[in-house]
Chains A and B, each alone.
Chain A
Amino acid sequence: MTVTKPTGGPVEGYACVEPATVREGDTVTMDVKGVYYRQVNAAVRAAFADGATKVVLNNVNGQRYIGTGVRGKNLSIEVHGTPGQDMAMLMDGPTIEVFGNAQDGVGNTMNAGKVVIHGDAGDVLGYGMRGGKLFIKGDVGYRVGIHMKAFEELRPIVVCGGKARDFFGEYMAGGLLVLLGMSKDAERPLVGGYLGTGMHGGTIYVRGEVESWQCGNEVGVTAATETDLAELSPVLAEYCADLGMDLKEVLSKPFTKLAPLSHRPYGKLYTNL
């Protein structure tokens, strides 16, 4: 372990030190307990630059920006513990698997790659996400999938296993956003209000029913058809395989489909002067 700044870090309990690393073949394992996020992320980038293809992070506790801006296919990061905010922001290619809960901002403006979270996750997941996959097993917070986009072959897919709060898929401009509602918390409503408000692209599927007051004026709400489910099934199959869930059970309830009524929701709001 090389100590770069032995006197500690800018946040109490965290030190600016390089994490202890062990390399076996293409895998680098790091103990990041008490290591400040900048050194953690620098070490991850260095490991990939050094030819490693997999990084295992142990004792993660709130370190931010894990995988942020990391580029390259066939790279993967395993996170044990609770990662901090903006994980996988602007990520372009790699896979991150979190054995624990995640916080806010996962997959923010992400380009490509995959994030699998075995627990719950926070707010603003997949904001402006342009491609890749975000699979969350548990509940999610507010503003999930806001302003998701799509571009040419890039199409973001976000699947949330539990329940969601307000502004799910607001301003959504492309991609696929799925809410399964299979939460341990039976009391909570499936999803909050403002569902798909301002939506002008992409599709949202909700397992179960939503009430009209929950949805924005810009979306059309219909029952998912056989064709819809045929499009959805492979995604759900992959999700179930990644998170150890039963596809049959997931598909055992009818889905609601939300799609934008127009690609130009505010086209008539303005007049020329």
Chain B
Amino acid sequence: MPTSLIQPEFRVEIDYNKCHKCGRCVQQCGWGVYSFNERPYPDDSKCRACHRCVTYCPAHCITIKKNDLALRDNANWSPELRKNVWRQAESGGVMLTGMGNDKPYLKIFDHLVLDACQVTNPSIDPLREPMELRTYLGRKPDSVEVEANGEGGYRLKPGSGVENNVKLDTPLIFAPMSYGSVSLNVHKSLAMAAERLGILMNTGEGGLHADLYPYGNNVIVQVASGRFGVSPEYLNRGAAIEIKIGQGAKPGIGGHLPGEKINKEVSTTRMIPQGTDAISPAPHHDIYSIEDLRQLIYSLKEASGYKPVGVKIAAVHNVGAIASGVVRAGADYVYLDGFTGGTGAAPAIIRDHVGIPIEIAIAVVDQRLREEGIRNQASIIAAGSIRSSADMAKAIALGADVVAIGSATLMALGCHLCQGCHTGCCSWGLTTQKPELTRRLDPEWGAERLTNLVHAWSHELQEILGALGVNAVESLRGSRERLRAVGLDKQTCDILGVKPAGL
């Protein structure tokens, strides 16, 4: 009797003529693919195509191929659906997965194009002209009062209500990923890069490790239902506080860090005993209404000396009304997370089928807050698979103030999107707590790569602004007239507030 009906996803091929028999592939693989007996022997069934061995093989003799084992074509039953039935028939469990939704849904960003200047409205050369990317996160007053600055110009009057805003040198921050789901070296890389870039990283719901205390001014501290690591000290360390209600990859689903990932350091940072499951249920048991949310927002403000408090919600149906409630509850920003957002672990069925695209959510929330006259009361952060500076520009044109990136940061650190984060075996040392793996990431190296990435995207954003003929990212925000749709139906265009190309 076969033990499993599932055949390997990949084939690991080694050209033994070239192989040095050095054994490095055995060491590098976090998934235990290789055994060694005078030469390396791969066990295909364990390979996740993370390419760690391929990258570090000195002889470049490893090739990973898709296992093209033919399954009879069936347009109704994709090979993946068939395999899932076999998997669940074997295990009886809820299938967990890591990283973002990989299903071929329509990606709206890819059906939006940006406008550009032509003959009579000249573009701006970003290489010579100043381009303002600075953005302020937080509630803006209903009206501004200015006074003379004594040098012939003006400045905001003290007490104008923007003192609590957080300054961002570019409209991009690092998305919440908890210490526990990612390694401490990932957190260090993010914190160091955030400081150098003048932006923010976010603790996720895992507390703030003491090594990150010096970076407090560049950290958003998160409060979720499990309240892991949340203490007055923690709240006071951060530049802003975020209440996590929902996550794009798993709306309506809580977090669950399995006990085997709760080692000494993680347990200290989360302030829970070692080895117990860190269960963070979907609902905050003190929030069952907008009034309750308001109560939590203000208790966190009371406890932290009135720091900005944001609320993270997943993009779901009717998100405009939800965001309006969140803003009216006193949130300084609304973090919208779309359904292609990443995750350390989620039931695959939820990740792939629950939620709505971030593009739609940004447009309806921005629209709704404008209609209600409260758009100034909160910033909008958009996240959920922002893959390039073009996505960033389009998100801002749809109405976001700032975007957040998570998966892209991990890719900058080596991630190959093998979707095995939930196993804790990440060969790149990112989503694991195994010391032999986590030490693969040098925070200094990581910070440099993250800094490079954000610098590159910021330059590209400046190029885009120049092409559009504007010199500040503020001028792009919510400027949907500068977007056109290609291949979107009329209703989607109407919801996005974007005309089809040609009009």
- Interface residue tally for chain A (C-beta within 8 Å): 48
Contact stretch, chosen from A23-31, A104-112, A177-185: A104-112
Q: B285 near A151 (CB under 8 angstroms)?
A: no
Stretch of B105-113, B268-276, B436-444 with 4 or more beta carbons under 8 angstroms from chain A: B268-276
Q: Which of B230, B267, B303 has the most CB of A within 10 A?
A: B303
Measured between C-beta atoms, what is the minimum distance from B21 to chain A in Å? 31
B78 on the interface (CB 8 Å rule)?
no
Taking CB atoms, residues of chain A closer than 8 Å to B304 are 69
Contacting residue for B273 out of A38, A201, A270, CB 8 A: A201
With known contacts A128-B227, A271-B88, A271-B92, A68–B271 Cβ distance under 8 A: no
The answer to whether A263 and B259 touch (CB under 8 A), given A147-B227, A149-B271, is yes
Which single residue of chain A is at the shortest CB-CB distance from B254? A171
- A86 in contact with B279 given A69-B232, A109-B230, A273-B419 (CB within 8 Å): no
Q: Which residues of B contact A213 (CB under 8 A)?
A: none
Could you give, for residues 50-71 of chain A, a 1 whenever the CB lies within 8 Å of some chain B CB and a 0 otherwise?
A: 0000000000000011001101
- Could you tell me the distance in whole angstroms from the C-beta of B134 to the nearest C-beta in chain A? 31
| In the complex, chain A residues 215-273 whose Cβ is within 8 Å of any chain B Cβ | 263-273
> Chain B binding site: helix, strand, loop or mixed by DSSP?
mixed
Residue with the greatest number of chain B CB neighbours at <10 A, chosen from A65, A124, A128, A200: A128
Q: How far is the CB of B249 from chain A (nearest CB, A)?
A: 14
Chain A residues lying within 8 Å of B286, measured Cβ to Cβ, are: 86, 104-105, 108, 124, 127
With a cutoff of 8 Å between Cβ atoms, the chain B residues found around residue A69 in the complex are 232, 235, 299, 302-304
Kindly identify, within residues 148 to 171 of chain A, every residue whose CB is under 8 Å from any CB belonging to chain B: 149-151, 154, 167, 170-171
| Contact of B231 (CB < 8 Å), options: A92, A127, A198, A265 | A92
What A residues does B231 contact at CB under 8 A? 90, 92, 109, 111, 130
Interface contact B258-A267, CB-CB below 8 Å: yes
- In the docked arrangement, what's the CA distance between A167 and B299, Å? 23
Q: How far is the CA of A68 from the CA of B230 in the complex (A)?
A: 13
Partner of A263, one of B87, B230, B277: B277
Bound: A91/B232 CA distance, A: 7
Is A171 within 8 A of B232, CB to CB?
Answer: no
Is the Cβ of A264 less than 8 Å from the Cβ of B276? yes
Asked whether any CB of chain A lies closer than 8 Å to the CB of B95, the reply is yes
Using known A-B contacts A64-B298, A86-B295, A128-B226, determine if residue A267 contacts B272 with beta carbons closer than 8 Å: no
> Which one, A130, A264, A273, contacts B259 given CB within 8 A?
A264
Q: Which residues of B contact A201 (CB under 8 A)?
A: 273, 276
B275 contacts A147, C-beta separation under 8 Å: no
Q: Give Cα distance in the complex from A197 to B285, angstroms.
A: 14
Contact A173 B227, beta carbon cutoff 8 Å: no
Minimum C-beta distance from B356 to chain A (A): 23
Q: Tell me whether A90 and B232 are in contact in the complex, defined as CB-CB below 8 angstroms, given that A68-B302, A271-B91 are known contacts.
A: yes
The answer to whether A90 and B275 touch across the interface, beta carbons within 8 angstroms, is: no
Which among A108, A128, A200, A273 is the interface contact of B95 at CB below 8 angstroms?
A273
Contact status B94-A271, CB under 8 Å: yes
Q: Which residues does chain B contribute within 8 Å of A273, judged by CB atoms?
A: 87, 95-97, 348, 419, 422
Q: Is the CB of B159 closer than 8 A to any CB of chain A?
A: no
Q: How far is the CA of A266 from the CA of B349 in the complex (A)?
A: 18
Best-surrounded residue of B93, B232, B304, B347 (most CB of chain A within 10 A): B232
Minimal Cβ-Cβ distance residue in B for A86: B299
Q: Are B87 and A143 in contact (CB under 8 A)?
A: no
CA distance A269 to B419 in the complex (A): 19
Docked CA distance A105–B87 (Å)? 44
Distance (whole angstroms) from the CB of A86 to the closest CB of chain B = 4
- Closest residue of chain A to B88 (Cβ to Cβ) is A271
Q: In the docked arrangement, what's the CA distance between A124 and B284, Å?
A: 10
How many angstroms between the C-alpha atoms of A166 and B419 in the bound complex? 39
Asked whether A270 and B96 contact (CB < 8 A) given A65-B299, A68-B299, the answer is: yes
A149 to B, closest residue via Cβ: B272
A111/B281 in contact, CB under 8 A: no
Nearest to B91 among chain A residues (CB) is A271
Say yes or no: B259 contacts A267, CB within 8 Å.
yes
B209 within 8 A of partner (CB): no
User: Which chain A residues border B285 with CB–CB below 8 Å?
Assistant: 124, 127, 143, 146-147, 167, 170
Query: Of residues A71, A92, A151, A265, which shows the largest number of chain B Cβ atoms within 10 Å of its Cβ?
Result: A151
In the complex the two chains form, what is the Cα distance from A124 to B96 in whole Å? Answer: 31
Alpha-carbon distance between A128 and B299 when the two chains are bound, in angstroms:
15
Contact of A264 with B423 in the complex, beta carbons under 8 Å:
no
**Distance between B242 CB and nearest chain A CB, rounded to angstroms:** 15
A84 to B279, CA, bound (A): 29
Cβ-closest chain A residue relative to B225: A147
Q: With the chains together, A98 CA to B484 CA distance in Å?
A: 62
B249-296 residues with Cβ-Cβ distance < 8 A to A are 256, 258-259, 267, 271-273, 275-277, 279, 281, 285-286, 295-296
- Tell me if A76 is interfacial: C-beta within 8 Å of chain B: no
How many angstroms from the CA of A218 to the CA of B304 in the assembled complex?
Answer: 36
Contacting pair B276 A272 (CB below 8 A):
no
B330 to chain A, nearest CB (A): 11
Interface string of A121-139 (1 = CB under 8 A from B): 0001001101000000000
Nearest CB of chain B from residue A134's CB, rounded to whole Å: 15
Quick one: given A269-B93, A271-B92, are A200 and B279 in contact (CB under 8 Å)?
Answer: yes
Partner of B272, one of A105, A111, A173, A264: A173
Given contacts A111-B232, A128-B230, contact A272 B422 (CB under 8 A): yes
B303 contacts A89, C-beta separation under 8 Å: yes
A174 at the interface (CB under 8 A from B): yes
B302 near A65 with CB under 8 A, answer yes
- Is A130 a contact partner of B303 (Cβ separation < 8 A)? no
A-side contacts of B226, CB under 8 Å: 128, 147
List chain A residues, Cβ under 8 A from B97: 273
- Residues of A within 8 Å of B303, CB to CB, are 65, 68-69, 89-90
**Nearest A residue (CB) for B275:** A263
Q: Pick the residue among A64, A92, A149, A167 that contacts B295 (CB under 8 A).
A: A64
Chain A residues near B (Cβ < 8 Å): 38, 41, 64-65, 68-69, 71, 85-86, 89-92, 104-105, 108-109, 111, 124, 127-128, 130, 143, 146-147, 149-151, 154, 167, 170-171, 173-174, 198, 200-201, 263-273
Interface CB pairs A-B, < 8 A, 24: A64-B302, A71-B232, A90-B231, A147-B227, A147-B285, A149-B271, A151-B267, A151-B273, A170-B285, A171-B279, A173-B276, A174-B273, A201-B276, A263-B259, A264-B259, A266-B279, A267-B277, A268-B93, A269-B94, A270-B93, A270-B256, A271-B96, A273-B96, A273-B97
Known: A108-B299, A109-B230, A124-B286. 20 other contacts (CB 8 A): A65-B299, A68-B299, A68-B302, A68-B303, A69-B299, A90-B235, A111-B232, A127-B286, A128-B226, A130-B227, A150-B272, A171-B281, A200-B279, A264-B276, A266-B279, A270-B93, A271-B88, A271-B96, A272-B96, A273-B87
Closest 9 CB pairs of A and B: A69-B303, A271-B93, A128-B227, A271-B91, A151-B271, A86-B299, A65-B302, A90-B303, A273-B97
